[in-house]
Structure 1
Protein backbone atom coordinates (compact mmCIF):
# COMPACT_ATOMS: atom_id res chain seq x y z
CA UNK A 1 0.00 0.00 0.00
CA UNK A 2 1.33 3.44 -0.91
CA UNK A 3 1.28 6.40 1.46
CA UNK A 4 -1.23 8.10 -0.85
CA UNK A 5 -4.71 6.56 -0.39
CA UNK A 6 -5.98 7.76 -3.76
CA UNK A 7 -2.98 6.32 -5.61
CA UNK A 8 -3.36 3.01 -3.78
CA UNK A 9 -7.08 2.69 -4.55
CA UNK A 10 -6.67 3.71 -8.19
CA UNK A 11 -3.85 1.16 -8.65
CA UNK A 12 -6.08 -1.60 -7.25
CA UNK A 13 -9.10 -0.35 -9.22
CA UNK A 14 -7.17 -0.33 -12.52
CA UNK A 15 -5.77 -3.82 -11.95
CA UNK A 16 -9.23 -5.20 -11.18
CA UNK A 17 -10.89 -3.32 -14.06
CA UNK A 18 -8.28 -4.34 -16.64
CA UNK A 19 -8.51 -7.95 -15.41
CA UNK A 20 -12.35 -7.87 -15.40
CA UNK A 21 -12.30 -9.07 -11.78
CA UNK A 22 -15.79 -8.01 -10.72
CA UNK A 23 -15.55 -9.38 -7.17
CA UNK A 24 -12.28 -7.50 -6.63
CA UNK A 25 -13.94 -4.38 -8.04
CA UNK A 26 -16.89 -4.67 -5.66
CA UNK A 27 -14.55 -5.25 -2.71
CA UNK A 28 -12.91 -1.86 -3.35
CA UNK A 29 -16.17 -0.18 -2.31
CA UNK A 30 -17.73 0.29 1.12
CA UNK A 31 -20.93 -1.71 1.72
CA UNK A 32 -23.10 1.40 1.27
CA UNK A 33 -21.06 3.14 -1.42
CA UNK A 34 -22.72 5.57 -3.81
CA UNK A 35 -21.83 4.89 -7.43
CA UNK A 36 -22.47 7.03 -10.52
CA UNK A 37 -21.01 5.42 -13.63
CA UNK A 38 -22.09 5.94 -17.26
CA UNK A 39 -25.70 5.16 -16.43
CA UNK A 40 -28.26 7.82 -15.59
CA UNK A 41 -28.91 6.62 -12.04
CA UNK A 42 -26.89 6.66 -8.85
CA UNK A 43 -26.77 3.17 -7.35
CA UNK A 44 -25.75 2.08 -3.89
CA UNK A 45 -23.89 -0.87 -2.43
CA UNK A 46 -21.40 -3.53 -3.47
CA UNK A 47 -24.00 -5.69 -5.22
CA UNK A 48 -24.97 -2.79 -7.49
CA UNK A 49 -21.29 -2.06 -8.20
CA UNK A 50 -20.67 -5.73 -9.00
CA UNK A 51 -23.66 -5.80 -11.38
CA UNK A 52 -22.43 -2.64 -13.11
CA UNK A 53 -18.96 -4.07 -13.74
CA UNK A 54 -20.33 -7.47 -14.78
CA UNK A 55 -22.05 -5.66 -17.68
CA UNK A 56 -18.78 -4.07 -18.87
CA UNK A 57 -17.21 -6.00 -21.77
CA UNK A 58 -14.14 -7.86 -20.53
CA UNK A 59 -11.84 -6.58 -23.28
CA UNK A 60 -11.92 -3.01 -21.92
CA UNK A 61 -9.03 -1.38 -20.12
CA UNK A 62 -8.47 1.93 -18.37
CA UNK A 63 -5.64 4.46 -18.51
CA UNK A 64 -5.57 6.50 -15.31
CA UNK A 65 -3.91 9.85 -14.58
CA UNK A 66 -4.11 11.00 -10.98
CA UNK A 67 -4.75 14.77 -10.80
CA UNK A 68 -5.45 15.82 -7.21
CA UNK A 69 -5.66 14.19 -3.81
CA UNK A 70 -6.67 15.25 -0.32
CA UNK A 71 -7.08 13.77 3.13
CA UNK A 72 -9.45 14.74 5.92
CA UNK A 73 -8.14 13.39 9.19
CA UNK A 74 -6.97 9.80 9.25
CA UNK A 75 -10.04 8.03 7.85
CA UNK A 76 -11.26 10.11 4.89
CA UNK A 77 -9.55 11.00 1.63
CA UNK A 78 -10.31 11.50 -2.00
CA UNK A 79 -9.38 13.18 -5.20
CA UNK A 80 -9.73 13.44 -8.93
CA UNK A 81 -8.33 11.53 -11.90
CA UNK A 82 -8.68 11.50 -15.65
CA UNK A 83 -9.52 8.06 -17.02
CA UNK A 84 -9.72 6.88 -20.60
CA UNK A 85 -11.55 3.61 -21.16
CA UNK A 86 -10.58 1.67 -24.31
CA UNK A 87 -11.16 -1.57 -26.15
CA UNK A 88 -9.12 -3.30 -28.87
CA UNK A 89 -11.59 -2.25 -31.60
CA UNK A 90 -10.76 1.43 -31.09
CA UNK A 91 -13.69 2.49 -28.88
CA UNK A 92 -12.68 4.95 -26.18
CA UNK A 93 -14.35 7.18 -23.62
CA UNK A 94 -12.59 9.85 -21.59
CA UNK A 95 -14.01 10.72 -18.17
CA UNK A 96 -13.23 12.78 -15.11
CA UNK A 97 -13.38 10.55 -12.04
CA UNK A 98 -13.90 11.77 -8.50
CA UNK A 99 -13.65 9.52 -5.48
CA UNK A 100 -14.36 9.89 -1.79
CA UNK A 101 -12.44 7.27 0.20
CA UNK A 102 -12.95 5.88 3.67
CA UNK A 103 -10.56 3.78 5.74
CA UNK A 104 -12.55 0.62 6.56
CA UNK A 105 -11.57 -2.90 7.53
CA UNK A 106 -7.88 -1.87 7.47
CA UNK A 107 -7.96 -0.69 3.85
CA UNK A 108 -8.99 2.37 1.90
CA UNK A 109 -12.32 1.79 0.17
CA UNK A 110 -14.42 3.87 -2.16
CA UNK A 111 -17.36 5.55 -0.41
CA UNK A 112 -18.43 7.62 -3.40
CA UNK A 113 -17.59 7.19 -7.10
CA UNK A 114 -18.60 9.59 -9.85
CA UNK A 115 -17.59 9.82 -13.50
CA UNK A 116 -18.34 12.67 -15.84
CA UNK A 117 -17.88 12.07 -19.56
CA UNK A 118 -15.47 14.40 -21.34
CA UNK A 119 -16.99 15.40 -24.64
CA UNK A 120 -14.79 16.43 -27.58
CA UNK A 121 -16.43 19.85 -27.80
CA UNK A 122 -15.35 20.50 -24.19
CA UNK A 123 -11.68 19.63 -24.71
Structure 2
Protein backbone atom coordinates (compact mmCIF):
# COMPACT_ATOMS: atom_id res chain seq x y z
CA UNK A 1 0.00 0.00 0.00
CA UNK A 2 2.98 2.35 -0.15
CA UNK A 3 3.59 4.95 -2.81
CA UNK A 4 4.88 3.75 -6.17
CA UNK A 5 5.98 5.49 -9.36
CA UNK A 6 2.87 4.09 -11.08
CA UNK A 7 0.54 5.59 -8.45
CA UNK A 8 2.29 8.95 -8.72
CA UNK A 9 2.01 8.82 -12.52
CA UNK A 10 -1.77 8.29 -12.25
CA UNK A 11 -2.14 11.31 -10.00
CA UNK A 12 0.25 13.48 -12.00
CA UNK A 13 -1.66 12.80 -15.24
CA UNK A 14 -4.99 13.63 -13.62
CA UNK A 15 -3.73 16.63 -11.64
CA UNK A 16 -1.89 18.13 -14.60
CA UNK A 17 -5.24 18.24 -16.42
CA UNK A 18 -6.86 19.68 -13.27
CA UNK A 19 -4.18 22.40 -13.09
CA UNK A 20 -4.57 23.26 -16.77
CA UNK A 21 -8.34 23.66 -16.38
CA UNK A 22 -8.02 25.64 -13.12
CA UNK A 23 -5.41 27.98 -14.62
CA UNK A 24 -7.59 28.56 -17.70
CA UNK A 25 -10.68 29.21 -15.53
CA UNK A 26 -12.63 26.39 -17.19
CA UNK A 27 -14.88 25.15 -14.36
CA UNK A 28 -16.72 22.55 -16.46
CA UNK A 29 -13.39 21.07 -17.60
CA UNK A 30 -12.34 20.82 -13.95
CA UNK A 31 -15.64 19.15 -13.04
CA UNK A 32 -15.27 16.65 -15.90
CA UNK A 33 -12.23 15.22 -14.07
CA UNK A 34 -14.44 14.04 -11.19
CA UNK A 35 -16.73 11.03 -10.81
CA UNK A 36 -20.47 11.65 -10.95
CA UNK A 37 -20.70 11.00 -7.19
CA UNK A 38 -17.47 12.73 -6.15
CA UNK A 39 -17.34 14.24 -2.66
CA UNK A 40 -15.76 17.69 -2.99
CA UNK A 41 -14.62 19.86 -0.09
CA UNK A 42 -12.89 23.07 -1.07
CA UNK A 43 -12.79 26.08 1.22
CA UNK A 44 -16.60 26.40 1.10
CA UNK A 45 -19.30 23.93 2.14
CA UNK A 46 -18.96 20.55 0.48
CA UNK A 47 -20.82 19.32 -2.57
CA UNK A 48 -21.37 16.01 -4.30
CA UNK A 49 -20.97 15.60 -8.06
CA UNK A 50 -19.74 17.68 -10.98
CA UNK A 51 -22.39 20.44 -10.83
CA UNK A 52 -21.27 21.64 -7.38
CA UNK A 53 -17.62 21.36 -8.43
CA UNK A 54 -18.22 23.45 -11.55
CA UNK A 55 -20.04 26.08 -9.47
CA UNK A 56 -17.18 26.17 -6.96
CA UNK A 57 -14.54 26.75 -9.63
CA UNK A 58 -16.75 29.23 -11.52
CA UNK A 59 -16.78 31.34 -8.34
CA UNK A 60 -12.99 31.51 -8.22
CA UNK A 61 -11.40 34.77 -9.42
CA UNK A 62 -10.07 35.10 -12.94
CA UNK A 63 -6.30 34.80 -12.99
CA UNK A 64 -6.13 32.25 -10.17
CA UNK A 65 -3.56 29.54 -10.86
CA UNK A 66 -2.54 26.38 -9.05
CA UNK A 67 0.86 24.85 -8.40
CA UNK A 68 0.88 21.44 -6.77
CA UNK A 69 3.43 19.07 -5.30
CA UNK A 70 2.65 15.43 -4.58
CA UNK A 71 3.87 14.57 -1.08
CA UNK A 72 2.56 11.02 -0.63
CA UNK A 73 0.71 8.38 -2.62
CA UNK A 74 -0.86 5.07 -1.70
CA UNK A 75 -2.58 2.52 -3.89
CA UNK A 76 -4.90 0.45 -1.68
CA UNK A 77 -6.33 -1.40 -4.71
CA UNK A 78 -5.60 -1.57 -8.44
CA UNK A 79 -8.46 0.86 -9.10
CA UNK A 80 -7.81 3.45 -6.34
CA UNK A 81 -4.95 5.88 -5.78
CA UNK A 82 -4.79 8.13 -2.72
CA UNK A 83 -2.72 11.29 -2.84
CA UNK A 84 -1.64 13.91 -0.33
CA UNK A 85 -0.41 17.19 -1.81
CA UNK A 86 0.56 20.74 -1.09
CA UNK A 87 -1.08 23.26 -3.42
CA UNK A 88 -0.40 26.96 -3.82
CA UNK A 89 -3.19 29.01 -5.36
CA UNK A 90 -1.85 32.29 -6.77
CA UNK A 91 -3.96 35.35 -7.48
CA UNK A 92 -3.48 38.59 -9.37
CA UNK A 93 -4.61 40.80 -6.49
CA UNK A 94 -3.75 39.05 -3.22
CA UNK A 95 -1.14 36.82 -1.62
CA UNK A 96 -0.74 33.18 -2.55
CA UNK A 97 -2.89 30.75 -0.57
CA UNK A 98 -1.21 27.51 0.47
CA UNK A 99 -3.39 24.51 1.27
CA UNK A 100 -3.08 20.77 1.88
CA UNK A 101 -5.08 18.51 -0.40
CA UNK A 102 -6.10 14.87 -0.16
CA UNK A 103 -7.51 13.23 -3.26
CA UNK A 104 -8.76 9.79 -4.16
CA UNK A 105 -8.53 8.81 -7.82
CA UNK A 106 -10.72 5.97 -9.05
CA UNK A 107 -10.34 4.00 -12.28
CA UNK A 108 -13.61 3.65 -14.20
CA UNK A 109 -14.73 0.60 -16.15
CA UNK A 110 -13.44 2.22 -19.36
CA UNK A 111 -9.94 2.57 -17.82
CA UNK A 112 -10.03 6.34 -17.31
CA UNK A 113 -9.13 7.85 -13.95
CA UNK A 114 -11.33 10.40 -12.21
CA UNK A 115 -11.28 12.10 -8.82
CA UNK A 116 -13.80 10.54 -6.43
CA UNK A 117 -12.82 12.59 -3.37
CA UNK A 118 -11.20 16.02 -2.89
CA UNK A 119 -10.55 17.40 0.60
CA UNK A 120 -8.81 20.74 1.29
CA UNK A 121 -7.26 21.59 4.65
CA UNK A 122 -5.71 24.82 5.86
CA UNK A 123 -3.26 24.52 8.71
CA UNK A 124 -2.84 28.14 9.84
Q: Please, what TM-score do these two structures have when normalized by structure 2?
A: 0.88
Q: TM-score, normalised by structure 1?
A: 0.88
Task: Compute the RMSD of aligned alpha carbons.
Answer: 1.4
> Superposition pairs for residues 57-72 of structure 1, below 5 Å?
57-72=61-76
Partner of 2:16: 11
Q: How many residues align?
A: 117
Does structure 2 retain, via aligned residues, the 8 Å contact 1:70–1:79?
yes
Gaps of 5+ in 1: none
Aligned to 2:97: 93
Q: Is the counterpart of residue 75 in structure 1 residue 87 in structure 2?
A: no
Gaps of 5+ in 2: none
Conservation of the 8 A alpha-carbon contact between 1:94 and 1:118 = no
Tell me the CA shift for residue 58 of structure 1: 1.7
SS of 2:13's partner is helix
Partner deviation per Cα, 1:84-117 (whole Å, 9 max, x = no partner): 1111224221100000110124311100000001
1:90/1:42 CA distance change after superposition, 3 Å: closer
Query: Using the alignment, how far apart are the partners of 2:51 and 2:105 within structure 1?
Result: 18
Whole-angstrom distance in 2 between the partners of 1:52 and 1:67:
25
